[in-house]
Amino acid sequence: MCDGCEKKLENSFEDKTVDLGMLDPILDEFKGQTGSVISILQKTQDVYGFLPLDALKYIADKTGNKRAKIYGIATFYAQFRLDPVGKYVILQCQGTACHVNGSKEVSYAICDELNINPGGTTEDNMFTVEDVACLGCCSLAPVIMINGEAYGKLTPDSARKIIKDIYNKEKEGAVS
């Protein structure tokens, strides 16, 4: 690896202090298993919601892999997040059925309501919005998925209402 390349890769990651002890059960589960880095990273992301730099360094040290290898895997696969996400992750389907039924208008309304662009997270860390190629719910087009729950047959107004309802529930303390 070139001089400074590892540091350049490290700059791609959110530098946030995390409890590395939460990784020990994961590393114990895969101890001695070659080819398990992706599984370890997936479980790490399940723990933190993203891949913190300190966790990647810890994984490299504990598995005996070079940090550059771990960073390379984390940055190669789109499934891995390098930045923290909001409490609610909104996946906006942009597949053909959703597109012809108004997904762009729904997306615009959601992003306008939250004042972010796709790929962004609100300042209060409540919502992250991501565009996806297809959610596999074409009969519900246009559709979004929020933390695994599908919302279909959307209009810009109904999408805004969903966001407002979630915010209202949060304010009331009804959602944990």
Binding residues: 93, 98, 134, 138
Alpha-carbon distance of 132 to 134, in angstroms, equals: 6
Report residue 26 as tokens.
Answer: 């994961």
Strands (E) across the chain are located at 88-93, 127-132, 144-146, 149-151
Q: Which residues are annotated as a binding site for [2Fe-2S] cluster?
A: 93, 98, 134, 138
Amino acid occupying residue 23: L
The answer for residues whose C-beta is within 8 angstroms of residue 101's C-beta and 6 or more apart is: 141, 142
Residue with tokens 């939460």: 22
Q: What is the DSSP letter of 88?
A: E
Alpha-carbon distance of 151 to 111, in angstroms, equals: 16
Integer CA distances (angstroms), 2 to 5, 13, 25, 54, 68, in order? 5, 19, 33, 21, 11
Which residues on adjacent β-strands are paired with residue 91? 130, 145
